[in-house]
Amino acid sequence: MTAAPSGLAERAAELRASFDRAFAVPIRSEAAATQDLLAIAVGTEPYAIRLSEVTGLFADRRITPIPGSSTALLGIAGFRGTIVPVYSLPMLLGHSPTQLPRWLVIAAVAPVALAFDQFDGHLRAAAEAILPRQSPEQVRGYALEFVRTESVVRPVLHLPFVVDALGTMDRPQVMSNQE
């Protein structure tokens, strides 16, 4: 039996040591803590909604008008076998009513759809880019925080607060085909 050339033995020892070090060193997280948001617009005002507060985003859904005491109630729409009330986000935020909004989000805290004008896209913001409000005057609608992007600062709407505010209105009951 012949001995392996010393260069090959040294290279094998280096590879073995490198392999062992890979398991000894803790895994480094390259990505900083981030938040996923939906960038939207209500009228000409930019806003953001935390993706974790939404169960669905839909475009061009048919909304069936129903009578109700709330002017913000646009009607009802069907989503995955469930009929939910649809409210105008512009009206809830104090903006003037617009034509029937194209986009709808379903809130995660309750089966309620919120209609708005424009979907600008997905944002992934670093945790330090989301800033708390400094004073009550800075709050527009239901925003507790602001997110700073390259081009604009957007209020971050807190959907649980929006849905809680709907509790004071006459909210229709949710109907499901599974019941």
Residue 20 has pLDDT above 90, yes or no: no
Please measure the distance between the N-terminal and C-terminal CA atoms of the chain and give it in whole angstroms: 79
Q: What is the pLDDT of residue 136?
A: 56
- Determine the Cα–Cα distance for residues 102 and 115; give it in Å rounded to an integer: 7
- pLDDT by residue (tens digit) across 3-12? 556 788 888 8
* Cβ neighbour number for residue 100 with a 10 Å cutoff: 13
Q: How confident is the model at residue 50 (pLDDT cuts 50, 70, 90)?
A: very high
State the Cα–Cα distance between residues 40 and 19, nearest whole angstrom.
47
Q: Which CATH class is domain 35-171?
A: mainly beta
In the chain, where the domains are located: 35-171
- Backbone conformation region of residue 49, classed left if phi is above 0, alpha if psi is from -120 to 50, else beta: beta
The rounded distance, in Å, linking the Cα atoms of 61 and 82 is 13
Query: What's the pTM value of the predicted model, to 2 decimals?
Result: 0.72
Percent of the chain, pLDDT > 70?
A: 82
Kindly state the average pLDDT of the residues 132-148. 71
